[in-house]
Amino acid sequence: MKKLFSLKMIVLVAVLNVLFYLMFIQFYFEYFPNGRPDKDAYKVVIEMQQQYGLELDEAEFEQFKLSYHERVQEAEQLMHDDPQFKKAGISTYEAFRAMDVFSDNKEWNELDRYAMFNPGIDLFWELQGREYLIEQYERRLERPYANLSNEDAAALQRMDEMVASGTLNTIFPSMIYDNFKNVMFYVYAISIISILLIVSPIFLRDRRSRVVHLQHASRIGRSLFRSKLIAALLSAVLIISIQLGCIFLLYSQQPGIELFYEAPINSAFNFPYFWYDLTFAQFIMLTVAVLYVLGLITALAAAFFSSISANYMALVALQIPYIYLITQPLSRVLIEELIMLYKPKYAQPLAYGLFIAIVASLLAYRWHRERKGDLLL
């Protein structure tokens, strides 16, 4: 591990991680929630959680709708007092919402820009956020079935269980789930790249230094294959732990996140739905566990690539397809769509099992060659 974590490699990986963060991850911390009315809906959900808790019953929902109508009255009072609305002949919120802003009516276009993009007026964005939340809660028992096939009996049964249990009365917001999923995808990508960079020279360095024959000439030298694999796995754990520590330190600063750690991710305000009843905190732990598994698989794959490569060009040629495969077509199955209801329930465990079996088989074959191979081969 000391050889793997040379000062040069530490600096290289650190610089790469910082650049990757600035290019891809920082955006999701600086702009959360991203855009409007998501920003306003998220603010309203936080107020709901503080007032009603993580679950909303029918009486509380009626009270929430009443607060929406009170805000509409405030908006109409603003319209009554504001000369811009008087000029356009708009005096009710219903009339404002009915305006065709894509028409040639210049007064309507100017009024829409004034009401929605004036820094001093946030009320109309807030009303749109409240309308979205009301619609989602009212459709919470019908919406989940919209994308389900009648032939998918297991998914339909799972949805029936969620509807019957009342878990869809909870108010975990989709903005948190989407933000976390996007952040973790990039953490997943940079972790894979960092592990490959650190672990890849583990066998190739000795081959280029021409010490392989010296190692094979002793019993201890032949057992170095196992020692190097252990070093590769420990290195992967260390890299991921440091990266996750930095990311979660930043993630914990996101406003309002701490209010929803105990909220079920199957919620009236979240999409998609999931095979298991997990809280957001449990879902975070599951995602972290999956990242460690993928990191260990990558460490083993990197060790295998290193053991069969004659030079660094050959090593890079093996790594590029692997990086593409694991971050593009396989990323949806392995991490992005984790335990989603609209995917086969056992697809991900089977994918991980197959992935592990392939890498383990290749390494077992290579280890056998290392232990039994002739020095002249």
In terms of DSSP H, where are the helices of 98-167?
106-117, 123-138, 153-165
- Among 335, 346, 371, smallest CA distance to 275 is for 346
211, pLDDT greater than 70: no
Contact 133, 44 (CB under 8 A): yes
CB-based contacts of 33: which residues, under 8 Å, 6+ apart? 39, 41, 42, 175, 179
306-331 pLDDT, tens digit per residue, is 888 878 888 888 899 998 888 888 88
52, pLDDT greater than 90: yes
* pLDDT mean over 204-223: 64
DSSP secondary structure letter of residue 220 = H
For the chain, how many residues are written? 377
pLDDT given at position 210 = 64
Rounded alpha-carbon distances, angstroms, from residue 63 to 16, 39, 44, 66, 68: 51, 22, 14, 5, 9
User: Cβ of 366: how many Cβ atoms within 10 Å?
Assistant: 18
212, pLDDT greater than 80: no
pLDDT bin (cut points 50, 70, 90) of residue 232 is very high
Distance CA 231, CA 205 (A): 14
pLDDT given at position 368 = 75
pLDDT given at position 376 = 45
The whole-model pTM stands at 0.90
Long-range CB pairs of 82-89, under 8 A, 24+ apart, other chains included: 84/110, 84/111, 84/114, 84/115, 85/111, 85/115, 87/111
